Chains A and B, each alone.
Chain A
Amino acid sequence: MSLLSQTASLIKREILLEQRQKYAFYGVLLFVVSTVFVAKFSFKVLNDFPTWNALFWIILLFASVTGVARSFAQETKGRLLYLYTIADPRAIFLAKLIYNSILMVILGFLGLAIFSFLVSYPVQNSGMFLVTLFLGCTGLAAAFTMISAIASKAGNNFTLMAILGFPVVLPLLLAAIKLSKFAGDGLPWSVTSTYLGVLAALNVVIIALAYLLFPYLWRD
């Protein structure tokens, strides 16, 4: 089987697992809703855009830790061994990456909807904000897929996942926060192109690095 068809069937497997378990996606979604409520009640009024922005991305960050962390942790030892014998490690990584990216993008957009509905939506340049949200979510998903793979080798420790992951995703998060700040202030595209470039380049770098390194991590 080629890499692509392997990847496709592995993504199908992920979706099937998700459909059977259900609690995973809805669990993270519920997590987002509860965090938004916590933010709403602790801030009461949230008119300040930088705070709104920072809060939104922090909620997304924690959602991605809880959501993507499972991607390797949920696999049993036997299942991992089975996958190891039948599939190309790159296909396994790509499947996890694509599945997690889709999951994160959906979570990101749903999160934005919930956040806007319950708190406020002060963004002026919505197009740019949505592009930032998309790139930020895919980047977070890619970085945490890799970190989750690393953490799974060290006993699936959630604390380890957080301390390994946060410093690594910080450049991405900073670029995303800056860019969505620009979007919120309604700056034109021409001003923000460097940051957009950085964010896109970070996505590419993270995915390329993870794709190249994952096969080494995979064999036990």
Chain B
Amino acid sequence: MKRNWWKFLCILLLAFTFFAGIITPLAPGFLITSNTILPTYSAPFTVKILGYNTRFKENEKSFSAWLTNWDDKQAVNTCPDNVMIIDDNHAELTFPPTSRLDSMFFGISVYNDADGKMYTHSAIFTSDTMHGGLVQSCKPVVKNAKADHFSFPFRDILYESMRNLFFHVPMWFAMIALLTWAIWNNFKYLRGFDLKYDARANQAVNTALLFGMLGLITGSLWARATWGAWWVDDVKLNGTAITMLAYLAYFVLRNSLDDEQKRARVTAIYSIFAYVMMIVLIGILPRLQSSDSLHPGNGGNPAFSNYDLDNSLRPIFYSAVLGWILLSFWIYSLRLRITALQEKNTEA
């Protein structure tokens, strides 16, 4: 029991990941379902708002909304003439006729006491800065900046698919951890030529490939939901696909050699070679500028930790990473035992 504490930890962490990662609601947010181009003629302008996880009707009294237009120095807020709350998730705001403009883009803020302040930047824009614009300046009252319950951030494009963070990203952590373990064992094999280490390295690569496949599948699903395609031309995707090819070649190489010691030696050398190239391919090349990537932290994109990884996601994300790595080593240790037993069987 004492030796298996990490398995219990793994179950605990993954249970927490699944539970907290799925149950936690997304923070209230909204989309604009009407025309987002401000008319250049002087007429009232109506914005239709579709709330998500919002309680507009329930908190009608504290409801307010305003447009924010950035002039040279400070935000100028414009409040609507007329607010019509249809239900908890639908509202219509009518803004007064426009006459002046400071910039081409407007953010929209929606507020009530329970949902907190929700903001969409550059929500409304105009094609003509000469005519149109909003002058009435108002000072909205914001009592609670955040929603009154624990939630994940509401992000454009990501929305609910944000939860995939706890599945897609840890798969790669697990894969890299296993491959690193495999390389460590390859080195150990080359130092003493003990076949025990070869078996370990081989099963680690096997399991790493499984996690790589899972990473590709979860990534593909996520790409479909956010970027709109199952497979996009992205350095990181192509890099991982190539890594898969390298490790599939590893198995071909392994099967083409009969002598145990020779097989162990040759594959250990190839595996070390492939590992270093993989680090370059998925670790270094995508991070360079102008390498067109959609991934955070790549191709000049900011990394998750800069602003994307909200504090509400952090504890779950870290436990997911640790949990999946532990699970991958669990699977690896089982496979190792199975192959050991199979070998014993064939010998007997």
Contacts and interface: CB of A to CB of B under 8 A. Distances in A.
Given A150-B270, A216-B269, A167 B280 contact: no
Report whether over half of chain B's contact residues are helix, strand or loop; otherwise say mixed. helix
A160 B257 CA distance: 12
B285 A198 contact: yes
B48 to A, nearest CB: 45
A170 B242 contact: yes
Interface stretch (B26-34, B271-279, B326-334): B271-279
A153 B265 CA distance: 10
Given A160-B253, A167-B249, A209-B273, A174 B285 contact: yes
B94 to A, nearest CB: 51
A205 B276 contact: yes
A170 B257 CA distance: 25
A166 B241 CA distance: 12
B246 interface: yes
B-side interface size class: 20 to 34
B267 to A, nearest CB: 9
Interface string A152-181: 011101001001101110110011001000
Contacts of B91: none
Contacts of B284: 198
* Interface SS, A side: helix
B269 A217 contact: yes
Interface of A: 146, 150, 153-155, 157, 160, 163-164, 166-168, 170-171, 174-175, 178, 194-195, 198, 202, 205, 209-210, 213, 216-217, 220
Interface of B: 190, 242-243, 245-246, 248-249, 252-253, 256-257, 262, 265-266, 268-270, 272-274, 276-277, 280-281, 284-285, 288-289, 291
- Nearest 10 CB-CB pairs, A to B? A167-B246, A171-B280, A163-B249, A154-B256, A171-B281, A167-B245, A213-B269, A153-B266, A168-B277, A164-B249
Given A167-B274, A209-B272, 9 more contacts: A150-B253, A154-B256, A163-B245, A163-B252, A175-B285, A209-B273, A210-B273, A216-B265, A217-B265
